[in-house]
Amino acid sequence: MVQAGTANPTEFPAHCPYYVKSPNPLLYAFSKHGCPVVPIMSQYACAKKIHNQAKEKPMPALFIDRDGVMNLMLYYADWGEYESPRTPDEYQLLPRVLDALTALQADGWQLFLISNQPGHAKGKITMQAQQDVHARFVSLLGDIRFTEYYYSYTHPKGVVPEYTGESPFRKPNPGFLWQAKADYQLDLSQCWMVGDCDTDVECGQQAGCRTALITYPYTAYKRQGKIVPDLICADFPDFVSQLRQIK
Indicate which residues carry an active-site annotation. Answer: 65, 67
Q: Do residues 2 and 148 touch, judged by C-beta distance below 8 A?
A: yes
Q: Do residues 15 and 8 touch, judged by C-beta distance below 8 A?
A: no
How many Å apart are CA 203 and CA 123, to the nearest integer? 25
Name the 3-class secondary structure at 124. coil
Per DSSP, helices labelled H in 185-229 are 198-206
CA torsion, ordered 203, 167, 112, 235, to nearest 10 deg: -50
Specify which residues 83 forms β-bridges with: 74
How many Å apart are CA 170 and CA 117, to the nearest integer? 9
CA nearest 102: which of 142, 58, 61, 60? 142
Give the strand order in the sheet containing 20-21.
2-6, 44-49, 20-21
Tell me the residue ranges of DSSP E strands in 28-129.
29-30, 44-49, 61-64, 74-76, 81-83, 110-116
